[in-house]
Homo-oligomer: A and B are copies of this chain.
Amino acid sequence: LARTLKITLSYDGTEFAGWQRQAHARTVQAVLEDALKPIEKGPVGVMAAGRTDAGVHAAAQVASVSLHVAISCHELRRALNATLPADVRVLAVEEMPERFSARRDARLKTYHYAIWNGATIPPFLRHYAWHVPQALDADAMNVAASLLVGEHDFAAFQGRGGDVKTTVRRITVSTIGAVHVPELVKTPADARLLRYEVAGTGFLRHMVRNIVGTLTDVGRGRTRIDEVRGILDSRDRSQAGPTAPPHGLVLWQVEY
């Protein structure tokens, strides 16, 4: 009898070519499916809430999978963590109704994006935060970020290769501010860690990174706060800022 399981997992995206299985590249999907295969004793296909790009991290990605094997959720979690590489950890396994899909049933996704704003990026953050040495006006960035809340056509923030029916999305949270620096880091007086938090019903390809690039232009004074609404309304990618690098991005939470 087939059963559907929800697997919550965390991964360090640094050494992955993203979520989605590809020939000749190490991906999270492949690593997870390869760990499930000997347990199921047969081929396994997992579906993620959202595919993450190369270098992007997950604090709590969600995947759904259909299995036949009789193993408790607790035992499956233990077995997976015993075989998975250390840069992927299963946080939870839950039994779900058969029709559950991690992608289709996701109600709200939250991403975090970290920016190290200081002259020198601590070595411990080099894979986890974008280094922006120039002065940033975080208050202006936060006002600009708030303009994105609501239902909008985010075509101006969609990266190339996006393939969706509609570019309209609803954003419920969009804020940026300074956060606590990890314990490993001795922070100079003139440096800080900024975090952009965004939650929404769905996101276009590269949308969070394009928003962060645009907000950073606001922080640098290249773009005025009142221009952000115009960029959004233009639905023109060339009006928005650069794509922020993948390694500052973390899929933080998926709600169902």
A residues lining the B interface (CB < 8 Å): 10-12, 57, 59-60, 81, 86-91, 112, 114, 120-124, 126, 128, 179-180, 182-186, 188, 193, 195, 250, 252-253
Contact = CB atoms under 8 A, between A and B. Distances in A.
Quickly give the copy total for this chain: 2
Given A86-B126, A123-B86, A123-B87, A253 B10 contact: no
Contact of A182 (B86, B120, B183, B253): B183
Contacts of A59: 122, 184-186
A157 to B, nearest CB: 23
Contact of A252 (B10, B88, B89, B186): B186
Contact of A10 (B12, B91, B123, B183): B123
A114 B184 CA distance: 9
Nearest to A195: B183
Nearest to A77: B120
A74 to B, nearest CB: 10
A91 B120 CA distance: 7
Nearest to A87: B123
Contact of A57 (B10, B121, B179, B184): B184
A89 B124 CA distance: 10
A243 to B, nearest CB: 20
Contacts of A179: 183
A186 B123 contact: no
Contacts of A114: 183-184
Given A59-B184, A183-B112, A253-B186, A124 B128 contact: yes
Contacts of A183: 112, 114, 179-180, 182, 193, 195
Contacts of A11: 123
A10 B186 contact: yes
Which of A81, A112, A122 lies at the interface centre, i.e. has the most chain B CB atoms within 10 A of its CB? A122
